[in-house]
Structure 1
């Protein structure tokens, strides 16, 4: 697996598909990235298990 992987995910604010880069050197990550379409802050949750990448996005204001 490459050190960086590109994945697409739907923005939880505007619904548009955006591309995000994932650092595959860490098994679990949580970080905030702004949507490239609507500029809202998206919390990205990443879990890597072997070759499988689990990616989810939520609104910054979700509890």
Structure 2
């Protein structure tokens, strides 16, 4: 697994996420371990490295 650090878009806490090292774009929702709100994760992996990572509020949630 690849590890990436990011900021929660709700509470601004620094979080760490494990990303599957398989080549391609991965999209999924995780809950912030501090404020418990859903975060939409989109990570792109190429050659075993994270080349793009986006964390934003999950659709339909505030």
Structure 1 unmatched runs, 5+? none
Structure 2 unmatched runs, 5+? none
Give the whole-Å Cα distance in 1 for the aligned partners of 2:23 and 2:40. 17
Alignment RMSD (CA, Å): 1.5
Number of residue pairs aligned between Structure 1 and Structure 2: 59
Over 3 Å counting, the alpha-carbon distance change for 1:55 and 1:32 in structure 2 is same
Task: Return the TM-score normalized by structure 1.
Answer: 0.82
CA-CA distance at 1:23 after TM superposition: 0.4
Alignment check: 8 A CA contact 2:21 2:49 kept = no
Counterparts in 2 of 1:1-63, with a 5 A limit? 4-53=1-50, 54-61=52-59
> Which one is further off, 33-42 or 46-55?
46-55
